[in-house]
Structure 1
């Protein structure tokens, strides 16, 4: 029996911005169906790594290689011809939701189907009936179907973020890559979004890679934690073994500032 290709395979990847190395020889493998938290102080390289995996950020030329579900996305500092197809399998969730404010929540979720349809159909709103049904089912799944007709910019942050997750479901994504998805939310909405990601991971088998500033959320919701510091991986292991000594090494003596709910 052959195993499924990894959600993401990152090998010896570096990324330089001017004099600063945002990523410095990073290697990492995330299995299909795994849920992994990326943590680390601001500027540690978390978002750069996530954007590199999805092909939104090119890496430095050299030996670095990034594969998504067995397809090379980046090699020698360039996107490959397989990058677009690989990206279609991954739903990207951003801190600021990336919804079109003037469009209804339903229309925003329907945008997830664009990769399967001619562009003109999307521009004219000529969505196939099956995709419409899929969109409403996704909105119901994430708990915001009652707001389908509302303009996105009239919704709360938590409602918009769940809409963004519904869009990834309509896309048919096999994995979700989320960059600080709860940073702009209040604690109650943040917990709902994290619980939804866990449900999609455990019930639907979607792989999830999520960057978090909140260490307590990483410990609570993710079995595996990868910590970056100054562009290097400094911890990769079970969340249960992420003790105070390791956290001080990652964040310094003020490591408790990285815990959200102890401050709320």
Structure 2
């Protein structure tokens, strides 16, 4: 692992039945990078992200995942110290993962559970520090006016911003965002991507985001990693993703949906 690396993936594979979702993937991510994971459906993007967070075990006997210098997975098993690393990793899912019956404020405050007692969280006995952090995070993402509203009454874009606010209260150093804009309208999607970019630029957070929208990857991220059939087939700056490379990644059908104004 290089001096600035906060994440190291080495020779990671994952098989579901007869399908190999990841095939010997190796990847280093440095502190403060904003990395897009792209590729066709089934290429292994989400599996890789879930494996990094320890939500998905990798195949043994080879393959290791290290976060913040701690081995979180090795030899097909999640490490004993994965919880320590996970406290510093915020995971944002496509379907928001907010508790619908709870208020937006409570959902965001739940990000502090790694630092306060479980019982305090269960009964909503939030310390003043947590209350302040939750409201500051909600203000940061532009939805503090909805703090008292039940999460399931909010729009998808508002819920996704709530999930980002929860990661801020968690004090995450890495944000893993798995298709965070896939179910959002274009305006809400751009807002979410702009927030992630701002957190990367101003707070120095490391962001890894899986995207189906290649134009978003090229617009908001400094580095793009493309997977195809479980293997990394491109790792570099967005400028390197010229039309022939994208057709190579996605197949000839990609040319039919190639967006207007894309690099030729």
Give the equivalent residue in structure 2 for 1:153.
152
CA–CA distance in structure 2, aligned partners of residues 85 and 258 of structure 1: 43
Go from structure 1 to structure 2 and tell me whether the alpha carbon gap of 1:161 and 1:26 turns closer, same or farther (over 3 Å shift). same
Structure 2 length as normaliser, TM-score? 0.96
Give the equivalent residue in structure 2 for 1:63.
62
Go from structure 1 to structure 2 and tell me whether the alpha carbon gap of 1:8 and 1:261 turns closer, same or farther (over 3 Å shift). farther
Stretch of structure 1 that moved more, 192-201 or 62-71: 62-71
Q: CA deviation at 1:117?
A: 1.1
Give the equivalent residue in structure 1 for 2:179.
180
CA–CA distance in structure 1, aligned partners of residues 124 and 155 of structure 2: 25
Query: Over aligned residue pairs, what C-alpha RMSD do you find?
Result: 1.4
Go from structure 1 to structure 2 and tell me whether the alpha carbon gap of 1:257 and 1:218 turns closer, same or farther (over 3 Å shift). farther
Give the equivalent residue in structure 1 for 2:36.
37
- 5+ residue gaps, structure 2, are none
Give the equivalent residue in structure 2 for 1:52.
51
Q: CA deviation at 1:256?
A: 4.5
- 5+ residue gaps, structure 1, are none
Q: CA deviation at 1:257?
A: 6.4
**Alignment deviations for residues 211-232 of structure 1 (CA, whole Å, 9 cap, x no partner):** 0000000010001100000000
Go from structure 1 to structure 2 and tell me whether the alpha carbon gap of 1:16 and 1:130 turns closer, same or farther (over 3 Å shift). same
CA–CA distance in structure 1, aligned partners of residues 260 and 116 of structure 2: 43
Q: Secondary structure at the match of 1:198?
A: helix
Give the equivalent residue in structure 1 for 2:99.
100
Go from structure 1 to structure 2 and tell me whether the alpha carbon gap of 1:106 and 1:242 turns closer, same or farther (over 3 Å shift). same
CA–CA distance in structure 2, aligned partners of residues 237 and 79 of structure 1: 29
CA–CA distance in structure 2, aligned partners of residues 258 and 32 of structure 1: 34
CA–CA distance in structure 1, aligned partners of residues 71 and 134 of structure 2: 30
Structure 1 length as normaliser, TM-score? 0.96
Name the count of aligned residue pairs: 260
Q: CA deviation at 1:203?
A: 0.3
Give the equivalent residue in structure 1 for 2:242.
243
Give the equivalent residue in structure 2 for 1:81.
80
Q: Secondary structure at the match of 2:8?
A: strand
